[in-house]
Amino acid sequence: EYMTKRKPQHVKIVNHLAKNKRLTVREALSRYGVQNLRARIRELRIKGYNIATLSKSQTGRVTVYRLNA
């Protein structure tokens, strides 16, 4: 538990996406304290991660991020 809280936000996000496939802004904030998920996703894309954005129209109401294989 202690080590999980000490990981950088981008590591937590990648781990979540790899395990759970999808992540919303609300999940990122409540689980990992990420207040600006959009910025973290952008940073991960720059690092080479292939992360798709499912728009609000595709998911109903919220933006969802998904890690592509």
Coil, strand or helix: which one is 2? helix
pLDDT higher than threshold 80 for residue 56: no
30: tokens are 């409540």
State the pLDDT at residue 60: 65
pLDDT higher than threshold 90 for residue 31: yes
State the pLDDT at residue 57: 64
Global confidence as pTM:
0.79
- pLDDT category at 59 given cuts 50, 70, 90 is low
**35 close to 29: Cβ distance less than 8 angstroms:** yes
Task: Give ∠ CA 57-54-48 in degrees, rounded to 5.
Answer: 155
pLDDT higher than threshold 50 for residue 2: no
